[in-house]
Protein backbone atom coordinates (compact mmCIF):
# COMPACT_ATOMS: atom_id res chain seq x y z
CA UNK A 1 0.00 0.00 0.00
CA UNK A 2 1.16 3.55 -0.65
CA UNK A 3 1.31 5.55 2.54
CA UNK A 4 2.41 9.01 3.51
CA UNK A 5 3.27 9.95 7.11
CA UNK A 6 3.30 13.63 8.04
CA UNK A 7 5.61 14.51 10.94
CA UNK A 8 8.74 12.59 11.87
CA UNK A 9 8.76 12.91 15.65
CA UNK A 10 8.65 9.76 17.76
CA UNK A 11 5.25 8.59 16.62
CA UNK A 12 5.54 9.52 12.94
CA UNK A 13 9.02 8.20 12.31
CA UNK A 14 8.52 4.92 14.16
CA UNK A 15 5.15 4.39 12.44
CA UNK A 16 6.60 5.14 9.00
CA UNK A 17 9.64 2.93 9.46
CA UNK A 18 7.62 0.03 10.92
CA UNK A 19 5.00 0.21 8.16
CA UNK A 20 7.76 0.09 5.53
CA UNK A 21 9.24 -2.90 7.34
CA UNK A 22 5.97 -4.78 6.72
CA UNK A 23 6.24 -4.14 2.97
CA UNK A 24 4.28 -0.92 2.47
CA UNK A 25 5.73 1.91 0.40
CA UNK A 26 6.05 4.80 2.84
CA UNK A 27 7.04 8.43 2.36
CA UNK A 28 7.74 10.34 5.57
CA UNK A 29 7.14 14.04 5.25
CA UNK A 30 8.62 16.72 7.46
CA UNK A 31 8.92 20.45 6.88
CA UNK A 32 12.39 20.45 8.48
CA UNK A 33 14.68 20.03 5.43
CA UNK A 34 17.84 19.43 7.44
CA UNK A 35 16.15 16.60 9.30
CA UNK A 36 14.86 15.13 6.04
CA UNK A 37 18.37 15.20 4.55
CA UNK A 38 19.86 13.31 7.46
CA UNK A 39 16.98 10.78 7.55
CA UNK A 40 17.58 10.08 3.83
CA UNK A 41 21.06 9.01 4.90
CA UNK A 42 19.56 6.64 7.43
CA UNK A 43 20.26 8.82 10.45
CA UNK A 44 17.37 8.96 12.90
CA UNK A 45 16.86 12.30 14.69
CA UNK A 46 15.67 10.45 17.80
CA UNK A 47 17.38 7.87 19.97
CA UNK A 48 15.41 4.67 19.77
CA UNK A 49 17.00 1.22 20.03
CA UNK A 50 16.90 -0.62 16.65
CA UNK A 51 15.42 2.27 14.66
CA UNK A 52 18.53 3.29 12.67
CA UNK A 53 19.09 -0.27 11.37
CA UNK A 54 15.46 -0.68 10.36
CA UNK A 55 15.50 2.73 8.64
CA UNK A 56 18.64 1.94 6.65
CA UNK A 57 17.34 -1.47 5.55
CA UNK A 58 14.06 -0.10 4.22
CA UNK A 59 15.71 2.89 2.50
CA UNK A 60 18.05 0.48 0.72
CA UNK A 61 15.13 -1.72 -0.30
CA UNK A 62 13.33 1.30 -1.79
CA UNK A 63 10.30 1.16 0.46
CA UNK A 64 11.06 4.12 2.70
CA UNK A 65 11.42 7.70 1.44
CA UNK A 66 11.76 11.12 3.05
CA UNK A 67 10.72 14.48 1.70
CA UNK A 68 9.90 18.00 2.79
CA UNK A 69 7.61 18.57 -0.20
CA UNK A 70 3.90 17.91 0.28
CA UNK A 71 3.43 17.48 -3.52
CA UNK A 72 6.05 14.74 -3.57
CA UNK A 73 4.95 13.19 -0.28
CA UNK A 74 1.28 12.93 -1.18
CA UNK A 75 1.65 11.90 -4.83
CA UNK A 76 -0.33 8.68 -5.53
CA UNK A 77 -0.91 7.98 -1.82
CA UNK A 78 -4.16 6.34 -0.71
CA UNK A 79 -3.41 6.83 3.00
CA UNK A 80 -2.07 9.91 4.76
CA UNK A 81 -1.13 9.56 8.41
CA UNK A 82 -0.96 12.76 10.46
CA UNK A 83 1.59 12.35 13.24
CA UNK A 84 2.57 15.93 14.05
CA UNK A 85 3.07 17.11 17.64
CA UNK A 86 0.19 18.40 19.74
CA UNK A 87 2.13 20.08 22.56
CA UNK A 88 0.60 21.63 25.63
CA UNK A 89 -0.63 25.23 25.28
CA UNK A 90 -0.23 27.73 28.11
CA UNK A 91 -3.80 27.02 29.25
CA UNK A 92 -3.17 23.25 29.39
CA UNK A 93 -5.12 22.38 26.23
CA UNK A 94 -3.58 20.62 23.22
CA UNK A 95 -2.03 23.08 20.77
CA UNK A 96 -3.35 22.15 17.31
CA UNK A 97 -1.34 24.62 15.22
CA UNK A 98 0.87 21.95 13.61
CA UNK A 99 -2.14 19.78 12.88
CA UNK A 100 -3.97 22.71 11.29
CA UNK A 101 -0.91 23.54 9.17
CA UNK A 102 -0.70 19.90 8.04
CA UNK A 103 -4.41 19.92 7.10
CA UNK A 104 -4.01 23.06 5.00
CA UNK A 105 -0.90 21.68 3.28
CA UNK A 106 -2.70 18.40 2.54
CA UNK A 107 -5.59 20.35 1.03
CA UNK A 108 -3.26 22.37 -1.20
CA UNK A 109 -1.31 19.36 -2.46
CA UNK A 110 -3.56 16.31 -2.83
CA UNK A 111 -4.08 14.96 -6.31
CA UNK A 112 -6.46 12.08 -5.53
CA UNK A 113 -8.99 10.77 -2.97
CA UNK A 114 -7.36 9.95 0.38
CA UNK A 115 -8.06 8.45 3.76
CA UNK A 116 -6.54 10.75 6.39
CA UNK A 117 -5.53 8.82 9.50
CA UNK A 118 -4.77 10.80 12.65
CA UNK A 119 -2.10 9.26 14.87
CA UNK A 120 -1.36 12.46 16.80
CA UNK A 121 -3.04 12.61 20.21
CA UNK A 122 -5.93 15.00 19.60
CA UNK A 123 -8.96 16.20 21.59
CA UNK A 124 -12.26 14.49 20.98
CA UNK A 125 -13.90 15.89 17.87
CA UNK A 126 -10.62 16.86 16.16
CA UNK A 127 -10.90 14.34 13.34
CA UNK A 128 -14.17 15.94 12.25
CA UNK A 129 -12.33 19.26 12.32
CA UNK A 130 -9.54 17.72 10.20
CA UNK A 131 -12.07 16.70 7.55
CA UNK A 132 -13.73 20.13 7.54
CA UNK A 133 -10.40 21.98 7.39
CA UNK A 134 -9.04 19.92 4.50
CA UNK A 135 -12.31 20.12 2.56
CA UNK A 136 -12.62 23.86 3.03
CA UNK A 137 -9.07 24.49 1.72
CA UNK A 138 -9.16 22.12 -1.28
CA UNK A 139 -9.18 23.68 -4.72
CA UNK A 140 -10.45 20.50 -6.41
CA UNK A 141 -13.12 18.14 -5.25
CA UNK A 142 -11.50 14.98 -3.87
CA UNK A 143 -13.09 12.61 -1.39
CA UNK A 144 -11.60 12.87 2.12
CA UNK A 145 -12.37 10.28 4.71
CA UNK A 146 -11.02 10.51 8.28
CA UNK A 147 -9.94 7.72 10.59
CA UNK A 148 -8.60 7.98 14.14
CA UNK A 149 -5.76 5.55 14.88
CA UNK A 150 -4.14 6.55 18.20
CA UNK A 151 -0.65 5.40 19.09
CA UNK A 152 0.27 3.52 22.25
CA UNK A 153 4.03 3.10 21.87
CA UNK A 154 6.49 3.93 24.62
CA UNK A 155 9.76 5.72 24.01
CA UNK A 156 12.67 3.35 24.34
CA UNK A 157 10.62 0.33 23.25
CA UNK A 158 8.77 1.95 20.38
CA UNK A 159 9.52 -0.72 17.73
CA UNK A 160 8.63 -3.56 20.05
CA UNK A 161 5.41 -1.80 21.06
CA UNK A 162 4.42 -1.15 17.44
CA UNK A 163 4.66 -4.82 16.51
CA UNK A 164 3.75 -6.39 19.84
CA UNK A 165 1.39 -3.86 21.44
CA UNK A 166 -1.80 -4.90 23.19
CA UNK A 167 -4.15 -3.52 20.55
CA UNK A 168 -4.66 -1.39 17.49
CA UNK A 169 -7.54 1.08 17.75
CA UNK A 170 -9.19 2.32 14.57
CA UNK A 171 -12.17 4.66 14.70
CA UNK A 172 -14.31 6.03 11.91
CA UNK A 173 -17.91 6.62 10.89
CA UNK A 174 -17.02 5.33 7.43
CA UNK A 175 -17.14 1.51 7.35
CA UNK A 176 -15.29 1.19 4.05
CA UNK A 177 -12.38 3.33 5.29
CA UNK A 178 -12.23 1.30 8.50
CA UNK A 179 -11.85 -1.89 6.50
CA UNK A 180 -9.17 -0.38 4.27
CA UNK A 181 -7.15 0.90 7.24
CA UNK A 182 -7.47 -2.49 8.92
CA UNK A 183 -5.72 -3.98 5.88
CA UNK A 184 -2.65 -1.78 6.50
CA UNK A 185 -2.19 -3.71 9.73
CA UNK A 186 -3.00 -7.13 8.27
CA UNK A 187 0.46 -8.57 8.97
CA UNK A 188 0.67 -7.25 12.55
CA UNK A 189 -1.27 -10.10 14.19
CA UNK A 190 -2.56 -7.81 16.94
CA UNK A 191 -6.13 -7.46 18.20
CA UNK A 192 -7.87 -4.65 16.32
CA UNK A 193 -10.65 -2.68 17.97
CA UNK A 194 -12.82 -0.77 15.52
CA UNK A 195 -14.98 1.93 16.96
CA UNK A 196 -16.56 5.30 16.27
CA UNK A 197 -14.33 8.30 15.69
CA UNK A 198 -14.85 10.10 19.00
CA UNK A 199 -14.39 7.00 21.14
CA UNK A 200 -11.08 6.22 19.41
CA UNK A 201 -9.86 9.73 20.20
CA UNK A 202 -10.97 9.34 23.80
CA UNK A 203 -9.33 5.90 24.24
CA UNK A 204 -5.89 7.48 23.89
CA UNK A 205 -6.46 10.12 26.58
CA UNK A 206 -8.27 7.66 28.81
CA UNK A 207 -5.41 5.13 28.61
CA UNK A 208 -2.64 7.63 29.34
CA UNK A 209 -4.65 9.27 32.12
CA UNK A 210 -5.37 5.89 33.70
CA UNK A 211 -1.69 4.91 33.63
CA UNK A 212 -0.78 8.30 35.14
CA UNK A 213 -3.44 7.68 37.80
CA UNK A 214 -1.87 4.33 38.68
CA UNK A 215 1.50 6.04 39.14
CA UNK A 216 0.17 8.93 41.27
CA UNK A 217 -1.86 6.45 43.30
CA UNK A 218 1.11 4.24 44.09
CA UNK A 219 3.28 7.28 44.83
CA UNK A 220 0.74 8.67 47.27
CA UNK A 221 0.45 5.28 48.93
CA UNK A 222 4.26 5.08 49.08
CA UNK A 223 4.39 8.37 50.94
CA UNK A 224 1.90 6.94 53.41
CA UNK A 225 3.87 3.67 53.75
CA UNK A 226 6.97 5.66 54.70
CA UNK A 227 5.09 7.28 57.54
CA UNK A 228 3.63 3.99 58.76
CA UNK A 229 6.66 1.74 58.43
CA UNK A 230 5.24 -0.33 55.55
CA UNK A 231 7.09 -1.06 52.30
CA UNK A 232 5.46 0.08 49.04
CA UNK A 233 7.15 -2.68 47.03
CA UNK A 234 5.48 -5.37 49.11
CA UNK A 235 2.20 -3.49 48.99
CA UNK A 236 2.38 -3.12 45.18
CA UNK A 237 3.21 -6.80 44.83
CA UNK A 238 0.22 -7.79 46.90
CA UNK A 239 -2.06 -5.40 45.00
CA UNK A 240 -0.73 -6.47 41.61
CA UNK A 241 -1.52 -10.12 42.25
CA UNK A 242 -5.16 -9.16 41.94
CA UNK A 243 -5.64 -9.47 38.20
CA UNK A 244 -8.26 -6.74 38.25
CA UNK A 245 -5.50 -4.35 39.36
CA UNK A 246 -2.50 -5.81 37.52
CA UNK A 247 1.14 -5.56 38.56
CA UNK A 248 2.39 -3.10 35.92
CA UNK A 249 2.83 0.63 36.44
CA UNK A 250 2.88 0.28 40.21
CA UNK A 251 6.51 1.33 40.71
CA UNK A 252 6.71 4.19 43.19
CA UNK A 253 9.28 6.84 42.34
CA UNK A 254 9.84 10.51 41.63
CA UNK A 255 6.68 10.85 39.55
CA UNK A 256 5.96 10.52 35.86
CA UNK A 257 7.55 12.75 33.24
CA UNK A 258 8.06 12.69 29.50
CA UNK A 259 6.25 14.17 26.56
CA UNK A 260 2.96 12.31 27.04
CA UNK A 261 1.52 11.83 30.53
CA UNK A 262 1.96 15.44 31.75
CA UNK A 263 0.63 16.87 28.47
CA UNK A 264 -2.24 14.40 28.05
CA UNK A 265 -3.52 14.63 31.64
CA UNK A 266 -3.59 18.42 31.33
CA UNK A 267 -5.31 18.17 27.95
CA UNK A 268 -7.96 15.82 29.35
CA UNK A 269 -8.61 18.27 32.17
CA UNK A 270 -9.00 21.01 29.61
CA UNK A 271 -11.31 18.85 27.45
CA UNK A 272 -13.48 18.37 30.56
CA UNK A 273 -13.48 22.12 31.24
CA UNK A 274 -14.53 22.81 27.64
CA UNK A 275 -17.80 20.99 28.34
CA UNK A 276 -18.02 22.32 31.92
CA UNK A 277 -17.12 19.00 33.49
CA UNK A 278 -14.56 19.01 36.28
CA UNK A 279 -12.27 15.96 36.04
CA UNK A 280 -11.42 15.97 39.76
CA UNK A 281 -9.52 12.65 39.71
CA UNK A 282 -7.27 13.87 36.91
CA UNK A 283 -6.65 17.15 38.75
CA UNK A 284 -5.51 15.17 41.82
CA UNK A 285 -3.28 12.96 39.67
CA UNK A 286 -1.56 16.06 38.27
CA UNK A 287 -1.22 17.73 41.69
CA UNK A 288 0.17 14.56 43.28
CA UNK A 289 2.71 14.24 40.47
CA UNK A 290 3.82 17.85 40.84
CA UNK A 291 4.60 17.21 44.50
CA UNK A 292 6.18 13.82 43.81
CA UNK A 293 8.63 15.26 41.29
CA UNK A 294 10.08 17.31 44.18
CA UNK A 295 9.86 14.68 46.90
CA UNK A 296 13.52 13.74 46.78
CA UNK A 297 14.49 17.36 47.59
CA UNK A 298 12.21 17.28 50.66
CA UNK A 299 13.93 14.09 51.79
CA UNK A 300 17.38 15.53 51.23
CA UNK A 301 16.53 18.70 53.19
CA UNK A 302 15.14 16.65 56.04
CA UNK A 303 18.56 15.03 56.54
CA UNK A 304 20.82 17.83 55.25
CA UNK A 305 19.02 21.13 55.98
CA UNK A 306 21.86 23.35 54.73
CA UNK A 307 22.91 22.49 51.18
CA UNK A 308 25.28 25.42 50.73
CA UNK A 309 28.41 24.24 48.89
CA UNK A 310 27.40 20.60 49.32
CA UNK A 311 28.60 18.47 46.40
CA UNK A 312 25.87 16.30 44.90
CA UNK A 313 26.36 13.54 42.34
CA UNK A 314 23.14 13.03 40.31
CA UNK A 315 22.85 9.73 38.46
CA UNK A 316 20.36 9.69 35.57
CA UNK A 317 18.70 12.71 33.97
CA UNK A 318 16.28 11.38 31.31
CA UNK A 319 12.61 11.01 32.30
CA UNK A 320 13.07 7.23 32.11
CA UNK A 321 15.74 4.76 30.94
CA UNK A 322 16.54 4.02 27.26
CA UNK A 323 15.75 7.48 26.03
CA UNK A 324 17.58 10.79 25.69
CA UNK A 325 14.29 12.64 26.19
CA UNK A 326 14.42 15.31 28.89
CA UNK A 327 10.90 16.69 28.43
CA UNK A 328 9.30 17.08 31.86
CA UNK A 329 11.99 14.90 33.43
CA UNK A 330 11.75 15.04 37.26
CA UNK A 331 15.54 15.64 37.32
CA UNK A 332 14.93 19.18 36.01
CA UNK A 333 12.97 20.36 39.07
CA UNK A 334 15.24 18.50 41.48
CA UNK A 335 18.50 19.88 40.08
CA UNK A 336 17.08 23.42 39.88
CA UNK A 337 16.09 23.25 43.55
CA UNK A 338 19.44 21.80 44.58
CA UNK A 339 21.29 24.55 42.72
CA UNK A 340 18.95 27.23 44.13
CA UNK A 341 19.68 25.88 47.61
CA UNK A 342 23.41 26.45 47.10
CA UNK A 343 24.52 22.90 46.21
CA UNK A 344 27.14 22.11 43.52
CA UNK A 345 25.61 19.58 41.14
CA UNK A 346 27.60 17.02 39.16
CA UNK A 347 25.43 14.98 36.80
CA UNK A 348 25.64 11.87 34.66
CA UNK A 349 23.34 10.26 32.12
CA UNK A 350 24.41 7.61 29.60
CA UNK A 351 22.80 9.46 26.67
CA UNK A 352 20.61 12.38 27.76
CA UNK A 353 23.38 14.76 28.92
CA UNK A 354 23.45 16.71 25.66
CA UNK A 355 19.69 17.35 25.71
CA UNK A 356 19.89 18.02 29.44
CA UNK A 357 22.00 21.14 28.84
CA UNK A 358 18.93 22.85 27.39
CA UNK A 359 16.87 22.21 30.54
CA UNK A 360 19.27 22.22 33.49
CA UNK A 361 20.87 25.21 35.25
CA UNK A 362 24.12 26.39 33.63
CA UNK A 363 25.99 25.64 36.86
CA UNK A 364 25.48 21.88 36.40
CA UNK A 365 28.75 20.02 35.75
CA UNK A 366 28.43 17.00 33.46
CA UNK A 367 30.37 13.82 34.11
CA UNK A 368 31.23 10.93 31.78
CA UNK A 369 30.84 7.97 34.13
CA UNK A 370 29.15 6.86 37.35
CA UNK A 371 32.53 6.54 39.11
CA UNK A 372 33.49 10.09 38.21
CA UNK A 373 30.06 11.44 39.27
CA UNK A 374 30.30 9.91 42.73
CA UNK A 375 33.90 10.77 43.55
CA UNK A 376 34.21 12.96 46.67
CA UNK A 377 30.52 13.87 46.70
CA UNK A 378 28.71 14.66 49.93
CA UNK A 379 25.85 12.47 48.74
CA UNK A 380 24.33 10.87 45.63
CA UNK A 381 20.88 11.20 44.09
CA UNK A 382 19.43 8.65 41.64
CA UNK A 383 16.84 10.10 39.25
CA UNK A 384 16.60 7.51 36.42
CA UNK A 385 16.70 3.72 36.74
CA UNK A 386 19.14 3.05 33.90
CA UNK A 387 20.37 -0.57 33.80
CA UNK A 388 23.97 0.56 34.32
CA UNK A 389 22.95 2.46 37.46
CA UNK A 390 20.93 -0.46 38.85
CA UNK A 391 23.87 -2.77 38.18
CA UNK A 392 26.48 -0.46 39.68
CA UNK A 393 28.17 -2.26 42.62
CA UNK A 394 26.89 -0.92 45.93
CA UNK A 395 30.32 -1.10 47.55
CA UNK A 396 31.53 1.42 44.95
CA UNK A 397 29.07 4.01 46.30
CA UNK A 398 30.79 3.65 49.63
CA UNK A 399 34.31 3.89 48.27
CA UNK A 400 33.67 6.75 45.83
CA UNK A 401 31.42 9.04 47.89
CA UNK A 402 32.84 11.29 50.62
CA UNK A 403 29.83 10.35 52.77
CA UNK A 404 28.00 7.07 52.10
CA UNK A 405 24.60 8.74 51.65
CA UNK A 406 22.31 7.88 48.72
CA UNK A 407 18.86 9.30 47.92
CA UNK A 408 17.33 6.92 45.41
CA UNK A 409 14.26 8.24 43.57
CA UNK A 410 13.76 4.98 41.66
CA UNK A 411 14.17 2.24 44.27
CA UNK A 412 17.07 0.68 42.33
CA UNK A 413 18.48 -1.46 45.16
CA UNK A 414 17.10 -3.87 47.75
CA UNK A 415 17.05 -2.25 51.19
CA UNK A 416 18.93 -5.06 52.91
CA UNK A 417 21.77 -4.95 50.36
CA UNK A 418 22.15 -1.19 50.66
CA UNK A 419 22.30 -1.53 54.44
CA UNK A 420 24.80 -4.39 54.30
CA UNK A 421 27.15 -2.15 52.29
CA UNK A 422 26.99 0.47 55.03
CA UNK A 423 25.02 3.01 53.01
CA UNK A 424 22.62 5.54 54.48
CA UNK A 425 20.07 4.75 51.85
CA UNK A 426 16.85 6.73 51.41
CA UNK A 427 14.37 5.55 48.80
CA UNK A 428 10.68 6.01 47.95
CA UNK A 429 7.89 4.42 49.99
CA UNK A 430 10.25 2.11 51.85
CA UNK A 431 11.57 2.33 55.40
CA UNK A 432 14.92 4.22 55.63
C1 LIG B 1 3.51 6.65 27.54
C2 LIG B 1 2.60 5.41 27.48
O3 LIG B 1 3.13 4.38 28.30
C4 LIG B 1 2.45 4.91 26.04
O5 LIG B 1 1.50 3.85 26.01
C6 LIG B 1 1.92 6.08 25.18
O7 LIG B 1 1.81 5.69 23.81
C8 LIG B 1 2.91 7.24 25.27
O9 LIG B 1 3.01 7.65 26.65
C10 LIG B 1 2.38 8.35 24.40
O11 LIG B 1 1.31 8.87 24.70
O12 LIG B 1 2.98 8.63 23.35
P13 LIG B 1 6.18 7.05 27.57
O14 LIG B 1 5.86 8.47 27.90
O15 LIG B 1 7.17 6.74 26.50
O16 LIG B 1 4.82 6.25 27.14
O17 LIG B 1 6.75 6.40 28.90
P18 LIG B 1 6.28 5.34 30.02
O19 LIG B 1 7.13 4.16 29.92
O20 LIG B 1 4.82 5.16 30.02
O21 LIG B 1 6.71 6.15 31.34
C22 LIG B 1 6.15 7.42 31.64
C23 LIG B 1 6.63 7.92 32.98
O24 LIG B 1 6.05 7.18 34.05
C25 LIG B 1 8.14 7.83 33.19
O26 LIG B 1 8.59 9.03 33.79
C27 LIG B 1 8.31 6.66 34.13
O28 LIG B 1 9.46 6.74 34.90
C29 LIG B 1 7.05 6.77 34.96
N30 LIG B 1 6.63 5.50 35.59
C31 LIG B 1 6.20 4.46 34.84
C32 LIG B 1 6.64 5.39 36.98
O33 LIG B 1 7.03 6.32 37.70
N34 LIG B 1 6.23 4.21 37.55
C35 LIG B 1 5.80 3.16 36.82
O36 LIG B 1 5.42 2.12 37.41
C37 LIG B 1 5.78 3.28 35.42
pLDDT in tens, 271-293: 999 999 999 999 999 999 999 99
Mutate which of 261, 262, 316, 318 for ligand 1? The one with the most ligand atoms within 8 Å of its CB, which is 261
What percentage of residues in the chain have a pLDDT greater than 70?
100
Q: Whose CA is nearest to atom 35 of ligand 1?
A: 249
> H or E segment at 107?
helix 97-109
Closest by CA position to 9, among listed 143, 161, 147, 119? 119
Q: How far, in Å, is the centroid of ligand 1 from the Cα of 229? A: 28
The residues with which 313 forms a beta bridge, in sequence order, are 346, 380
Please tell me the predicted confidence (pLDDT) of residue 393: 97
Would you call 28 a catalytic residue per the annotation? no
Could you tell me how far CA 212 lies from the centroid of its own chain? 12
pLDDT in tens, 38-78: 999 999 999 899 999 999 999 999 999 999 999 999 999 99
Average per-residue pLDDT for the chain? 97
Q: Please say whether the structural domain 2-195 has been given the CATH code 3.40.50.720.
A: yes
Q: How far, in Å, is the centroid of ligand 1 from the Cα of 268? A: 16
Q: Whose CA is nearest to atom 25 of ligand 1?
A: 256
7 φ/ψ sector (left φ>0, alpha ψ -120 to 50, else beta): left
pLDDT in tens, 392-416: 999 999 999 999 999 999 999 999 9
pLDDT above 90 (res 432):
no
pLDDT in tens, 301-311: 999 999 999 99
In this structure, are residues 67 and 35 in contact, taking their beta carbons and an 8 Å threshold?
no
- Return the ligand 1 atom nearest residue 330 CA: 26
State which fold the 293-426 domain adopts: Rossmann fold (3.40.50)
In this structure, are residues 266 and 92 in contact, taking their beta carbons and an 8 Å threshold?
yes
Q: Where in the chain is the domain with CATH 1.10.1040.10?
A: 204-291
Q: Which CATH architecture has domain 204-291?
A: Orthogonal Bundle (1.10)
Q: Where in the chain is the domain with CATH 3.40.50.720?
A: 2-195, 293-426
Around ligand 1, the residues with Cβ closer than 6 Å are: 121, 151-155, 208, 211, 215, 249-251, 253, 256-258, 260-261, 319-320
- Return the ligand 1 atom nearest residue 384 CA: 28
Alpha carbon of 407 to those of 254, 265, 292, 314, 315: distances in Å? 11, 28, 14, 9, 10
pLDDT in tens, 168-214: 999 999 999 999 999 999 999 999 999 999 999 999 999 999 999 99
Q: Whose CA is nearest to atom 8 of ligand 1?
A: 154
pLDDT in tens, 328-381: 999 999 999 999 999 999 999 999 999 999 999 999 999 999 999 999 999 999
pLDDT in tens, 131-180: 999 999 998 899 999 999 999 999 999 999 999 999 999 999 999 999 99
Q: Whose CA is nearest to atom 24 of ligand 1?
A: 256
Can you tell me the mean pLDDT for 102-118?
97
Mutate which of 10, 118, 211, 218 for ligand 1? The one with the most ligand atoms within 8 Å of its CB, which is 211
Amino acid sequence: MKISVIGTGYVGLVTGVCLSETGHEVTCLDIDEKKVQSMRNGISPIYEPGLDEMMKRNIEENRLFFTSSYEEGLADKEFVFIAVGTPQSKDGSADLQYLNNACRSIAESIQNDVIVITKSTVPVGTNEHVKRTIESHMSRDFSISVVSNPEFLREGSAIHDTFHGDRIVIGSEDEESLERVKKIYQSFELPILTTDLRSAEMIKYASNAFLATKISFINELGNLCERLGANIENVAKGMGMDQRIGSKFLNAGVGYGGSCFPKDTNALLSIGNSVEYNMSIIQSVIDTNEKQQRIIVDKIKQFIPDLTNKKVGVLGLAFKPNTDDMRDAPSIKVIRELVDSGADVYAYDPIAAENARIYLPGATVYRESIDETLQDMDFAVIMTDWKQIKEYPLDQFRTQLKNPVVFDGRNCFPLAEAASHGLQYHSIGRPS
